[in-house]
Structure 1
Amino acid sequence: MAQPSDGIEPVPSSRGVTLNDVATAAGVTLGTASKALNGRGKLSAETRERVRTEAKRLGFRFRELKQEEASSSGLLIGVLTTDIYGRFSLPLLTSIEDSFGSIPISAVLCTSRDQEREQQHIDLLLSRGVDGIIVTARREDVRQPINVGRTPVPVVYAFTQVADANALCILPDEIQGTRLAIEHLIQTGRRRFAHITGPSYFEAVRLREQSMRQVLAEHDLRLSEHQALSGPWQESWGYTAARYLFDQDSSIDAIFCGSDQLARGACDALRERGIRVPEDVAVVGYDNWEPIACASRPTLTTIDMNFAQIGRYAGESLQALIAGEVRSGVVRLPCSLIVRESSIANEAERR
């Protein structure tokens, strides 16, 4: 029988063994166990060998990687996404790669349209000895954790999340981003607000409306139920919703939209009615999707979720996990306000 060489160990016969089990058996911390199995970190030869011996005894699958190889060779990471159009995943991928700096890295982008295809991608990445996996999506809502079996391969969730306290999930701060938008509109003198947004089953939709109402209440302003409209993430819905709003209440002077597509549709509807943006009504979008925001008439003030920052943080966190650090929890990173023509007409005020 052939002896296993450097690479992936055969799938073990025992089931349910975790990295924590290995650490306990070897009498070391979880971080030390991870470093020992990944061939990284400054550990004594005795400690590294003890951890690996216990892992093999328990049937825990890990990649055999010599210390000198770990420091000199590049890293292979997988980026797994349900965002088949690349709207969110491609900006993240670029920043993830940038976060590794001078470290040679190859990133494999895998799109998953269903659970079966996703697991096929994961199994292939594991068979190729991937060093880590970043999971992302086209929405921030809670999903099932991916299954990496009994391997110590670290996983980071970016622009998506799982209900696992041991997982690391990195998200934009929707509450803070909405506060930036509403405070900006209030500072420009707006007092009669409306909200056009996407389906209410999206967590981001609920968080943004919650934040909007909170900020308005702090300024003794309110948003009535009929002035908050939820529908599909389509430009046509922004158009239809804006027409409906002004059929009901022509005194509205500010519309906060849940996406730039919705905002552009709303601006088109207002223009058709002879309502000036921003002189009569200010409009703020969300996403800072430049092909939409910059091509709108007028150009859109919007909230940028800072995917570059999320990607960098995800990449840096994956490096830390690969090195044996323990990181977990939900991290929400701040958004930014991008001011353009749809909320302030005067160029000097936009600076």
Structure 2
Amino acid sequence: MYEEQKKGADEAEAEQRSQTPSSTRGATLKDVALAAGVTLGTASKAINGRGKLSQETRERVRDEARRLGFRFRKLEQDTLVDQHMMIGVLTSDVYGRFSLPLLSGIEKAFDMRPVSAVLCSASDQRKEQAHLQTLLERHVDGIVVSARREDPRLPIDLGQVQLPVVYAHTQVTDPNALSILPDDAQGARLAVEHLISIGRRQFAHITGPGYFEAVRLRESAMSQVLAEHDIPFSMNRVLSGPWQESWGYTAAKYLIKQDLSIDALFCGSDQLARGAVDALHEMGIRIPEDVAVVGFDNWEPIACATRPALTTIDMNLEAVGHYVGQCLLDLLAGKLLSGTVRLPCKLIVRESTVPIPI
């Protein structure tokens, strides 16, 4: 009987060792969170006695920590400095035009902390859900959801898994979600104020489809600025179409043929602006002497290759990514963050705008 009991105890101990992280590296807070079925932030709050947690959750986390031999140290020492972290990035931006600057900013926010990012591009919801499942299976520490457009979308479905999620360059209507966006209205104000400051008064606007939130925000801001400066403006000078260089070309030709007094073109993207510049050249109109042109995005392969080089609005996507990274760190540390945050854009002045000589 004694031998059978000893054998059973040995087997139980062996099974427990197989489920316990190797003593050579020691248990991490991530190990504790996985074992207790909670997020890193919840595990941190439970161990450090912070936050609003149920007593049952707090005790369960601490019991798992003791079982795993976790060393009760401060979170910033154990997870955010020593522990390698993995962030999943879900995006519909298959070309990386928006997602890559965001990633660069996120990496800088983590500073010297070891972090890896798994970038998953998905063109539809089915692919996105498949990528999401893969990220959850890899036990990522947090997820960033990004897109080619800033319009509201459905939140991702994590099921029963609790993970920090930040939406960047896109947003959801869930009041508990956190969305970080460039401030399109503020960017449009910068563009129009700049054109006014160089003496332009006859404005036209070439932009993308009206169902984009960014289009509506920029157009509204432009109208407000012109009204503040008592500059008359007709909505007949606003043309919406596809985000294509060819549309910028077609729209600019139409506008100038209708009204030769136009001296300022504010375009909703650098691609549209480049098409407009080509049309103006073809019509013998000088840039910026006759018509000043401002784009939006500061997509350098387009803006800098245009002749003359485009004055444009930079959405500061790397700064958006840096803010996203800081928010992820705060969420992992147990802070509660939600709402929509819009970060300022900046004006990049190049040769397509110069003051009118007096």
**Range class of TM-score, shorter chain:** 0.7 to 0.9
Residue deviations 1:158-202 (CA, integer Å, cap 9, x gap)? 100000111110001111110010011011110100000001110
User: Could you tell me which residue of structure 1 aligns to residue 196 of structure 2?
Assistant: 186
Equivalent position to 2:136, from 123, 126, 141: 126
User: Could you tell me which residue of structure 1 aligns to residue 114 of structure 2?
Assistant: 104
Is the counterpart of residue 81 in structure 1 residue 87 in structure 2?
no
8 Å CA contact retained: 1:134, 1:157: yes
Q: Distance in 1 between matches of 2:314 and 2:161?
A: 36
Is the counterpart of residue 223 in structure 1 residue 233 in structure 2?
yes
3-state SS of 1:175 partner: helix
Equivalent position to 2:126, from 102, 110, 116: 116
3-state SS of 1:286 partner: coil
| Amino acid aligned to 1:321 | L
8 Å CA contact retained: 1:254, 1:282: yes
Equivalent position to 1:94, from 101, 104, 115: 104
User: Could you tell me which residue of structure 1 aligns to residue 7 of structure 2?
Assistant: none
Taking the TM superposition and a 5 Å limit, the aligned residue runs for 1:178-217 are 178-217=188-227
3-state SS of 2:328 partner: helix
Shift of 1:92: 0.6
Q: Distance in 2 between matches of 1:113 and 1:126?
A: 19
Is the counterpart of residue 51 in structure 1 residue 57 in structure 2?
yes
8 Å CA contact retained: 2:198, 2:355: no
Residue deviations 1:257-313 (CA, integer Å, cap 9, x gap)? 000010011011101111000000000000000110000010000000000110000
| Amino acid aligned to 2:101 | P
Change (3 A) 1:174 1:84: same
Q: Distance in 2 between matches of 1:88 and 1:38?
A: 32
Structure 2: tracts of 5 or more residues without a match: 1-11, 22-30, 63-67
Taking the TM superposition and a 5 Å limit, the aligned residue runs for 1:23-42 are 35-37=41-43, 42=48
Shift of 1:117: 1.4
Aligned sequence identity (%): 59
3-state SS of 2:79 partner: helix
Change (3 A) 1:220 1:288: same
User: Could you tell me which residue of structure 2 aligns to residue 279 of structure 1?
Assistant: 289
| Amino acid aligned to 1:51 | T
8 Å CA contact retained: 1:36, 1:48: no
Shift of 1:41: 6.7
Q: Distance in 2 between matches of 1:156 and 1:222?
A: 41
Residue deviations 1:87-106 (CA, integer Å, cap 9, x gap)? 10011111111110010001
Q: Distance in 1 between matches of 2:177 and 2:251?
A: 39
Equivalent position to 1:168, from 160, 171, 178: 178
Taking the TM superposition and a 5 Å limit, the aligned residue runs for 1:187-336 are 187-336=197-346
8 Å CA contact retained: 1:158, 1:171: yes
Question: TM-score, normalising length from structure 2?
Answer: 0.82
8 Å CA contact retained: 1:41, 1:324: no
Shift of 1:150: 2.0
Shift of 1:75: 0.7
3-state SS of 1:276 partner: coil
8 Å CA contact retained: 1:177, 1:336: yes
Q: Which has the higher Rg, Structure 1 or Structure 2?
A: 2
User: Could you tell me which residue of structure 1 aligns to residue 4 of structure 2?
Assistant: none
Change (3 A) 1:79 1:256: same
Shift of 1:241: 0.3
Shift of 1:122: 1.3
Shift of 1:53: 5.0
Change (3 A) 1:196 1:126: same
Shift of 1:70: 3.0
8 Å CA contact retained: 2:168, 2:321: yes
3-state SS of 2:128 partner: helix
Change (3 A) 1:215 1:118: same
Change (3 A) 1:11 1:192: same
Shift of 1:152: 2.1
| Amino acid aligned to 1:262 | L
Is the counterpart of residue 338 in structure 1 residue 348 in structure 2?
yes
Q: Distance in 1 between matches of 2:315 and 2:231?
A: 26
| Count of residues in Structure 1 that have an aligned counterpart in Structure 2 | 320
Change (3 A) 1:260 1:157: same
Structure 1: tracts of 5 or more residues without a match: 13-18, 20-32, 57-63, 347-351
Change (3 A) 1:48 1:246: same
Is the counterpart of residue 177 in structure 1 residue 187 in structure 2?
yes
Residue deviations 1:205-241 (CA, integer Å, cap 9, x gap)? 0000000000001111133122100000011110000
Shift of 1:246: 1.0
User: Could you tell me which residue of structure 1 aligns to residue 79 of structure 2?
Assistant: 70
